[in-house]
Amino acid sequence: MWRSVEDDALSSCSLESLPSVVGSRNRERRTSTTGNDAFASMTPADGLGRSLLAGPSSEYSSHFVLSGLVGTPNHVNEAFAKMIDDVRYEDTACHRAAAISLSSSMSSSSVCGDAVQLPDNVIILADTHTWSVQVASNEGWGEVFSPSEAVVSMLEQFCDLYRVGYAPRLLISYLEDSLSDVLSKSLSLVEIVSRGSPSSQSPLSPERVRSIVDCDHSDLRLILNVASVYWPPVLASVV
């Protein structure tokens, strides 16, 4: 996400508003006698997962799953151009790792003989200055006009919990639980679609998928895209 330099403060739900999530770990590292001691004191979630989160920065970096971008409109436009280059470049370490993972997971399925289809690079940009959301992929760049109701509800509830003073770790746990629900519905869809042979299956209608996984119509695209990470043919199974 990014904001313009005219904004004096970040959104109340920004990463900087949650100092104990990342700040406490940084303070722990500074007070440790050696780097090894600091590394040894980390749990896997604190070490790997939290290292993929970054606060607002003046430069865009593709290494983080979630980060902020601060700058003037011209500066941000330059970052946009770099993002477009990143999503169109498919020979990355992440893509190679995804190919290995997909090959392994598909080797025991009924589609083991099919070519491995790499997932697309995707960047989601939330502009806290205009309150708009855009998605960049190898297909292009476009604004999102119909967001997922599950995501909207999650963020609204998150802000309400933040305003009443919930601890940062509880807020993060709430996000994890909400996203786990989306993942659970996606995996349920994968299990149903992949149960039979592809030749004997008829495509599922969106209404049928909604009744199976119990979701809002606006959540279908999100659930299908998550499901396709685990079983790419699921995208062709819903029409």
3-state per-residue secondary structure call for 69-113: EECCHHHHHHHHHHHHHHHHCCCCHHHHHHHHHHHHHHCCCCCCC
Name the band, by pLDDT with cuts 50, 70 and 90, for residue 178.
Answer: very high
Mean local confidence (pLDDT), 62-66: 80
The confidence score (pLDDT) of residue 7 equals 40
Please state, in angstroms and as integers, the Cα–Cα distance from residue 44 to each residue in 5, 47, 48, 226, following that order. 36, 5, 6, 23
Amino acid at 88: R
Q: Can you tell me whether residue 59 is helix, strand or coil? A: coil
The pLDDT mean for the chain works out to 72
119-127 LR contacts (CB < 8 Å, sep 24+)? 119/95, 119/228, 119/229, 119/232, 120/87, 121/86, 121/87, 121/88, 121/89, 121/90, 121/92, 121/95, 122/87, 123/83, 123/86, 123/87, 125/1, 125/2, 125/80, 125/83, 126/1, 127/1, 127/2, 127/3
Q: Is the pTM of this model over 0.85?
A: no
Q: Can you tell me whether residue 128 is helix, strand or coil? A: coil
The confidence score (pLDDT) of residue 11 equals 37
The confidence score (pLDDT) of residue 223 equals 92
And the tokens for 142? 């476009």
Q: Can you tell me whether residue 43 is helix, strand or coil? A: coil
Low-confidence winner among 58-62, 74-78, 87-91, 126-130 (lowest mean pLDDT): 87-91
The confidence score (pLDDT) of residue 200 equals 57
Say if residues 150 and 182 touch (Cβ distance below 8 Å). yes
And the tokens for 209? 């998928």
The confidence score (pLDDT) of residue 112 equals 45
| Neighbour-count burial of 228, counting CB atoms closer than 10 A to its CB (0-12 exposed, 13-18 middle, 19+ buried) | buried
Mean local confidence (pLDDT), 2-31: 40
The confidence score (pLDDT) of residue 141 equals 75
User: Is residue 21 over pLDDT 90?
Assistant: no
User: Is residue 44 over pLDDT 60?
Assistant: no
The confidence score (pLDDT) of residue 10 equals 35
Amino acid at 49: G
Higher pLDDT, 208 or 29: 208
The confidence score (pLDDT) of residue 22 equals 38
Name the band, by pLDDT with cuts 50, 70 and 90, for residue 193.
Answer: confident
pLDDT above 90 coverage of the chain, percent: 15
CA distance 226 to 184: 10
CA distance 32 to 210: 51
The confidence score (pLDDT) of residue 87 equals 78
User: Is residue 4 over pLDDT 70?
Assistant: no
pLDDT above 70 coverage of the chain, percent: 62
User: Is residue 103 over pLDDT 50?
Assistant: yes
The confidence score (pLDDT) of residue 29 equals 41
Say if residues 186 and 219 touch (Cβ distance below 8 Å). no
